[in-house]
């Protein structure tokens, strides 16, 4: 900020956030430089800056931006009369990690009396105290978003070898005691006035437990939308208790949690006229339960839901518009029990459903816009006779084609096993409005179909092809014909493509993934790519062995606004360390693996200090100059929330070949991954078998 002796009225004016009596939204997201001092400075009268006492307070806040509330009370902040902005209804401070939210709540409540929407995503410095303050003091607030990154250590998806909490406390011990005392005091007293909160998003917050859900259920009696995806610390019983209390729920997002039998029973139980739940089996419970009012249910990855529970649940959800049951124990009979006809989004990826039941669902739901069915190996296999329903739907894939063609006008589709050229041709009328298509493992689109793709789907914005056979003609046709294309992924595809495919302007392209498809790429090719795709924000390169350390500067100069960079097995990109890539100040996600052993031991802390928005970092011990990395403590992690360090070993050859010389690159195979995740309370260390 410069010498504090030179700070004056004019300098303060320059730092103020411009707000007027007509301002309806204060959006400070992605501004890591915003502090409590700047916020306070923007909410007081300009004339107050001439007061020596108040000026001293502001100056102190600038020089000590991280002092806690108890330290600031000595400055008698009550003297600071903030301006009231009646029109402001929404505040977004997402990714403003230097802004102490708990200290800012008073400012929001005093200056924005009409505040209704509060967004503070990707902030780990929000603790329970600040959350409770917000609910208690902002009387009209109805929507809160406290999203953070979902932990990669999901019990249903990884094999945990070991796990332990960190021994370093996130805040001073005395402060922790103070926070706990406040939690208990607020929870045990009669409670604040009933909250108007109808939409609450706690996605990814591993520090949220059953006690927090209990408090939410008591406070948010009007809750309609709840998102606790990835909240792995809550239990099935905790979720079910909340469901029983929040009878107005119409949107429930619980993917990758312990959502299971108890929660399904709570959703399906009838609500009596008095508001209590009944376990009776009367016909009325089908029309008077929480499930019967649900419009959104996302329970993907919840392996605790058994077949019978899903069958019961589907028979209650007649008004659903969005349903996600990916990676669950979903079977045909459960979907046959689905009585709804309003579905707009359906995700059944990696389940055992068949084409016949999917045709049945599509026939009943003509408004379907989004269909995700990747990894469904039984999609075009004959049903077991026991599973056949008393309907006219056959199990042939022609039936599914007919229903899609006749009933749907899809905007998004993800498919794999069984998806073929015939499928694409048959669905042509249904795909004219398609904006997103992803073809994964098991899908087989021939060159003819891929050539026709731009004509069939002229509005495509996102195209992802995995394990397909492609050519220069196919790719050139795609990049020149799809003028709305914003995201292109070519991963593990076969065929001959060259730089000729990318010598066309793609100024709308924002995301590019080239994985195992461009082994010929050189620095010169990379330069051409930066010239033709100037507006990239996400880049992923895998398997480009001809790249070297000069590639870093090409990337950072060509795409300075990148928020995500994944570079793996790309020659010697990091052989001389990492410097130029750190100039990408907007980076939030960085993966560097098997690009040359040039990363210093302190690289993690150093990279986090240079890139203020960096939240996710993935490395490999193979690239460490000293065969290890220093793990930062809680205070030195800056904005990091997830750190993944893979470890490999030299591959042992079964044949009697000579051992490579010391200068030769040994082939490595993955052993394990160390995953470190931070939340508002802890640092969790987990070792998993998978390469994450």
pLDDT tens column, 207-253: 899 988 998 888 888 999 999 999 999 999 999 999 999 999 999 99
Q: What b/e sequence results for 235-251 when a residue is b if at least 16 CB atoms lie within 10 Å of its CB, and e otherwise?
A: bbebbbbbbbbbeebbb
Which of 274, 306, 340 terminates a domain? The answer is 340
- Give yes or no: residues 151 and 72 share one domain: no
Reduced to 3 DSSP states, what percent helix, strand and coil does the chain have, rounded to the nearest 5? 35, 15, 50
Q: Work out the pLDDT band at 427, boundaries 50, 70, 90.
A: confident
Segment 407-416 shows an average pLDDT of: 87
pTM, 2 dp: 0.88
Q: Work out the pLDDT band at 636, boundaries 50, 70, 90.
A: confident
Which of 127-141, 158-172, 470-484 bottoms out in mean pLDDT, i.e. has the lowest?
A: 158-172
- Distance between CA atoms of residues 199 and 144, nearest Å: 6
Cα 523–Cα 529–Cα 531 angle in degrees, nearest 5: 110
Averaging pLDDT over each range in 78-92, 176-190, 264-278, 290-304, which range is the top one? Answer: 290-304
- Give yes or no: residues 136 and 81 share one domain: no
What pLDDT score was predicted for residue 298? 98
- Distance between CA atoms of residues 348 and 26, nearest Å: 38
Q: Residue 328 pLDDT > 90, yes or no?
A: yes
The answer as to whether 537 is a domain residue is no
Do strands 668-678 and 683-688 pair parallel, antiparallel, or not at all (unpaired)?
A: antiparallel
Q: Work out the pLDDT band at 652, boundaries 50, 70, 90.
A: low
Q: Work out the pLDDT band at 286, boundaries 50, 70, 90.
A: low
State which residues form the domain around 17.
4-120
Nearest Cα neighbor of 313 from 257, 383, 372, 243 is: 243
- Give yes or no: residues 202 and 325 share one domain: yes
Segment 576-602 shows an average pLDDT of: 96
What pLDDT score was predicted for residue 91? 94
Which of 124-128, 410-414, 602-606 bottoms out in mean pLDDT, i.e. has the lowest?
A: 124-128
Q: Work out the pLDDT band at 143, boundaries 50, 70, 90.
A: very high
- Give yes or no: residues 296 and 329 share one domain: yes
- Give yes or no: residues 292 and 196 share one domain: yes
The answer as to whether 332 is a domain residue is yes
Segment 128-140 shows an average pLDDT of: 72
- Give yes or no: residues 238 and 302 share one domain: yes
- Give yes or no: residues 148 and 231 share one domain: yes
Run of H or E including 143: strand 143-145
- Give yes or no: residues 136 and 104 share one domain: no
What pLDDT score was predicted for residue 359? 87
The answer as to whether 318 is a domain residue is yes
- Give yes or no: residues 142 and 221 share one domain: yes
- Give yes or no: residues 101 and 133 share one domain: no
Q: Residue 396 pLDDT > 90, yes or no?
A: no
For every residue of 447-505, DSSP letters joined together read: HHHHHHHHHH-TT--EEEEES-B--HHHHHHHHHH-TT--EEEEES-BS---GGGG-S-
- Asked if residues 619 and 644 have their Cβ atoms less than 8 Å apart, the reply is yes
Within 10 angstroms of residue 662's Cβ, the number of other Cβ atoms is: 6
Q: Does 682 or 610 have the greater pLDDT score?
A: 610
The answer as to whether 363 is a domain residue is no
What pLDDT score was predicted for residue 397? 59
Run of H or E including 277: strand 277-278
Q: Work out the pLDDT band at 18, boundaries 50, 70, 90.
A: confident
Within 16-168, residue ranges assigned H as helices are: 36-42, 52-63, 69-72, 101-111, 128-137
Structure tokens at 79: 């003297």
Residues of the chain above pLDDT 70, percent: 80
Chain segment 28-65, per-residue pLDDT in tens? 999 988 888 888 888 887 776 666 776 777 776 776 66
Chain segment 448-500, per-residue pLDDT in tens? 889 999 999 999 999 999 999 999 999 999 999 999 999 999 999 998 899 99
What pLDDT score was predicted for residue 127? 72
- Distance between CA atoms of residues 472 and 439, nearest Å: 19
What pLDDT score was predicted for residue 276? 56
Number of independent structural domains in the chain: 2
Cα–Cα distances (Å) from 10 to 43, 50, 52, 640, in that order, read 16, 11, 15, 35
Averaging pLDDT over each range in 158-167, 388-397, 429-438, 523-532, which range is the top one? Answer: 523-532
- Distance between CA atoms of residues 183 and 189, nearest Å: 10
Nearest Cα neighbor of 112 from 202, 226, 28 is: 28
- E-assigned strand segments in 536-629: 538-542, 564-568, 589-593, 616-620
What pLDDT score was predicted for residue 79? 54
Q: Residue 393 pLDDT > 90, yes or no?
A: no
Mean predicted lDDT score pLDDT of the chain: 84
The answer as to whether 259 is a domain residue is yes
The answer as to whether 272 is a domain residue is yes
What pLDDT score was predicted for residue 177? 32
What pLDDT score was predicted for residue 102? 73
What pLDDT score was predicted for residue 174? 35
What pLDDT score was predicted for residue 156? 82
Q: Residue 167 pLDDT > 50, yes or no?
A: no
Dihedral of CA atoms 102, 106, 108, 114 in degrees, nearest 10, equals 130
Q: Does 463 or 106 have the greater pLDDT score?
A: 463
- Give the DSSP letter of residue 390: S
Segment 103-116 shows an average pLDDT of: 87
- Asked if residues 371 and 354 have their Cβ atoms less than 8 Å apart, the reply is no
Whichever domain contains 200, its CATH number is: 3.80.10.10
- Distance between CA atoms of residues 146 and 132, nearest Å: 13
What pLDDT score was predicted for residue 655? 52
What pLDDT score was predicted for residue 97? 87
What pLDDT score was predicted for residue 76? 46
Which of 95, 120, 145 terminates a domain? The answer is 120
The answer as to whether 510 is a domain residue is no
Nearest Cα neighbor of 548 from 515, 514, 516, 571 is: 571
- Give yes or no: residues 193 and 278 share one domain: yes
Q: Work out the pLDDT band at 180, boundaries 50, 70, 90.
A: very low
- Give the DSSP letter of residue 99: S
Structure tokens at 620: 């490999």
Which of 175-184, 583-592, 617-626 bottoms out in mean pLDDT, i.e. has the lowest?
A: 175-184
Nearest Cα neighbor of 4 from 47, 75, 62, 80 is: 62
Q: Residue 147 pLDDT > 90, yes or no?
A: yes
Nearest Cα neighbor of 433 from 412, 464, 415 is: 412
Q: Residue 552 pLDDT > 90, yes or no?
A: yes
Q: Work out the pLDDT band at 132, boundaries 50, 70, 90.
A: low
- Give yes or no: residues 90 and 129 share one domain: no
The answer as to whether 134 is a domain residue is yes
Which of 67, 87, 120 terminates a domain? The answer is 120
């Amino acid at each position: 900020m410069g010498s504090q002796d030179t700070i004056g009225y004019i300098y303060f004016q320059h730092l103020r956030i411009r707000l007027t009596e007509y301002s309806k939204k204060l959006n400070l997201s992605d501004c890591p430089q915003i502090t409590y001092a700047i916020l306070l400075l923007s909410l007081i009268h300009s004339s107050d800056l001439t007061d020596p006492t108040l000026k001293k307070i502001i100056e102190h806040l600038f020089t000590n931006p991280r002092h806690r509330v108890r330290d600031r009370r000595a400055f008698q902040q009550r003297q600071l009369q903030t301006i009231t902005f009646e029109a402001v209804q929404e505040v977004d401070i997402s990714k403003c990690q230097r802004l102490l939210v708990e200290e800012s709540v008073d400012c929001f409540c005093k200056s924005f009396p009409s505040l209704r929407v509060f967004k503070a995503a990707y902030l780990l410095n929000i603790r329970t105290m600040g959350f409770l303050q917000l609910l208690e003091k902002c009387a009209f607030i109805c929507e809160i978003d406290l999203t953070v990154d979902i932990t990669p250590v999901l019990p249903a998806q990884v094999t945990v070898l070991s796990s332990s909490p960190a021994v370093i406390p996130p805040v001073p011990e005395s402060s922790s005691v103070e926070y706990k005392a406040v939690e208990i005091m607020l929870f045990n007293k009669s409670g604040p006035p009933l909250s108007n909160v109808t939409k609450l998003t706690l996605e990814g917050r591993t520090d949220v437990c059953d006690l927090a859900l209990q408090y939410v259920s008591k406070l948010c009696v009007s809750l309609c939308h709840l998102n606790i995806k990835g909240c792995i610390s809550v239990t099935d019983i905790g979720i079910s208790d909340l469901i029983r209390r929040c009878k107005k729920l119409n949107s429930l997002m619980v993917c990758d949690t312990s959502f299971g039998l108890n929660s399904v029973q709570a959703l399906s139980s009838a609500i009596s006229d008095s508001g209590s739940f009944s376990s009776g089996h009367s016909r009325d419970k089908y029309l008077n339960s929480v499930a019967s009012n649900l419009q959104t249910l996302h329970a993907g990855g919840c392996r605790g839901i058994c077949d019978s529970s899903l069958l019961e649940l589907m028979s209650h959800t007649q008004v659903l518009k969005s349903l996600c049951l990916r990676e669950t124990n979903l079977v045909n009979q459960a979907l046959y029990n689905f009585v709804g006809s309003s579905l707009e989004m359906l995700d059944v990826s990696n389940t055992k459903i068949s084409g016949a039941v999917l045709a049945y669902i599509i026939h009943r739901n003509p408004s379907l816009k989004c269909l995700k069915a990747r990894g469904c190996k039984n999609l075009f296999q004959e049903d077991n006779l026991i599973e056949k329903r008393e309907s006219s739907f056959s199990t042939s894939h022609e039936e599914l084609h007919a229903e899609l063609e006749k009933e749907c006008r899809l905007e998004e589709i993800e498919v794999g096993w069984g998806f073929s050229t015939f499928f694409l041709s048959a669905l042509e009328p249904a795909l004219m409005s398609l904006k997103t298509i992803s073809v994964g493992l098991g899908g087989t689109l021939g060159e003819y179909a891929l050539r026709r793709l731009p004509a069939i789907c002229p509005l495509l914005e996102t195209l992802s092809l995995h394990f397909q056979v492609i050519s220069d003609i196919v790719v050139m046709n795609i990049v020149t014909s799809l003028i709305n294309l914003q995201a292109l992924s070519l991963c593990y595809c076969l065929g001959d493509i060259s730089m000729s495919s990318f010598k066309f302007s793609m100024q709308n392209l924002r995301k590019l993934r080239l994985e195992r498809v461009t082994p010929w790429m050189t620095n010169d090719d990379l330069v051409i790519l930066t010239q033709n795709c100037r507006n990239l924000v996400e880049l992923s390169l895998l398997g480009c062995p001809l790249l070297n350390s000069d590639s870093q500067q090409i990337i950072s100069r060509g795409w300075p606004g990148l928020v995500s960079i994944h570079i793996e097995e790309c020659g010697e990109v990091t052989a001389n360390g990492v410097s130029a890539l750190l100039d990408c100040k907007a980076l939030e996600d960085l993966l560097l693996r098997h690009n040359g052993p040039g990363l210093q031991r302190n690289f993690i802390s150093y990279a986090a200090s240079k890139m203020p928005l960096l939240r996710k970092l993935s490395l490999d011990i193979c690239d460490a100059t000293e065969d290890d990395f220093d793990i930062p403590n809680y205070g030195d992690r800056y904005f990091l929330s997830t750190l993944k360090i893979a470890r490999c070993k030299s591959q042992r050859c079964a044949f009697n070949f000579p051992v490579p010389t010391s200068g030769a690159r040994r082939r490595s195979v993955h052993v394990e991954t160390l995953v470190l995740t931070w939340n508002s309370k802890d640092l969790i260390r987990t070792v998993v078998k998978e390469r994450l």
